[in-house]
């Protein structure tokens, strides 16, 4: 089973799935590992109260989680955990929120932008380091929930085509998620985690070693850039070589994205 923080992210993502929105969950922890903020994506839904974005294109889990933090001060000992590789907006938001680390579980070969974090003089003063994807059940579920959403709602979407080319092993797991009964979120969440104990996408081919990502396995796991900042581990973007980002296929996984 995933660790408790990863499980929290995945359960939030599952709540999003059951609510009919893009299933992504996010959690911020402090230096002690205590959860100080948590939320899910609400692009297609309503806000649970003030201080949350909902029903708009930027109502992402990461934004709704970071919005709960105080405005002042850097947080080099805080980590933003996300069930899925963040988009360009959200990886930028993590940097601007002055967090020390962003850890994502599942790769997103379509909109994931962990390698495209751009440094500015301001961001150079801030400490963000990006780690992900996570191998094993947590990473597989984070990615598969996202793919399942598209299979359920937009099976002809470009996102599905990209996943089919880059992460084909994920489709069976995603289809099984679609088949779970989402009318009973608590009960079916248990079914969600049961899937990972038996599914080959989570065991025989843990995420990070899926087809098209063989070069990501092993040697770069846990790599950190010498400056200790923004090292991408097990970086999934190399999977996109030839997908409109020629540089992505040329750069070794694990190299600092901020240089690009």
Name the residues that contact Zn ion, by CB under 5 A.
Answer: 60, 87, 89-90
> Bridge-partner residues for 130, per DSSP?
102
Whose Cβ is closer to Zn ion: residue 94's or residue 196's?
94
- Closest approach of Zn ion to the CB of residue 71, in Å: 20
- Closest approach of Zn ion to the CB of residue 91, in Å: 8
Whose Cβ is closer to Zn ion: residue 2's or residue 41's?
41
Give the Cα separation of 198 and 182 in Å (integer): 20
- Closest approach of Zn ion to the CB of residue 21, in Å: 13
Q: Is 224 left (phi over 0), alpha (psi -120 to 50) or beta?
A: beta
Number of H helices, E strands in the chain: 8, 5
Using an 8 Å Cβ cutoff, are 94 and 75 in contact?
no
DSSP conformation letters of 122-135:
HHHTS--EEE-PPP
For residue 56, how many other CB atoms are within 10 A of its CB? 10
Whose Cβ is closer to Zn ion: residue 5's or residue 87's?
87
Position with the least CB separation from Zn ion: 90
- Closest approach of Zn ion to the CB of residue 191, in Å: 27
């Amino acid at each position: 089973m995933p660790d408790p923080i990863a499980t929290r992210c995945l359960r939030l993502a599952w709540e999003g799935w059951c609510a009919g929105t893009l299933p992504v969950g996010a959690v911020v922890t402090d230096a002690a590992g205590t959860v100080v903020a948590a939320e899910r994506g609400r692009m297609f839904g309503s806000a649970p109260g003030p201080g949350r974005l909902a029903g708009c294109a930027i109502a992402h889990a990461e934004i709704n989680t970071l919005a709960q933090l105080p405005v002042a001060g850097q947080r080099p000992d805080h980590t933003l955990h996300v069930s899925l590789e963040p988009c360009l907006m959200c990886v930028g938001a993590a940097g601007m929120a002055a967090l020390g680390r962003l850890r994502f579980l599942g790769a997103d070969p379509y909109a994931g932008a962990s390698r495209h974090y751009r440094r500015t003089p301001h961001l150079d003063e801030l400490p963000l380091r990006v780690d992900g994807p996570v191998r094993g059940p947590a990473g597989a579920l984070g990615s598969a929930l996202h793919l399942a959403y598209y299979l359920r709602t937009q099976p002809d979407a470009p996102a599905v085509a990209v996943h089919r080319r880059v992460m084909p092993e994920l489709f069976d797991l995603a289809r099984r998620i679609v088949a779970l009964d989402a009318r009973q979120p608590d009960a079916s969440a248990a079914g969600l985690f049961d899937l990972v104990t038996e599914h080959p996408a989570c065991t025989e081919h843990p995420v990070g070693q899926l087809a098209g990502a063989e070069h990501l396995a092993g040697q770069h796991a846990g790599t950190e850039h010498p400056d200790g900042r923004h090292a991408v581990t097990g970086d999934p973007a190399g999977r996109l070589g030839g997908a409109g980002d020629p540089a992505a296929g040329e750069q070794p996984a694990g190299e600092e994205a901020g240089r690009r």
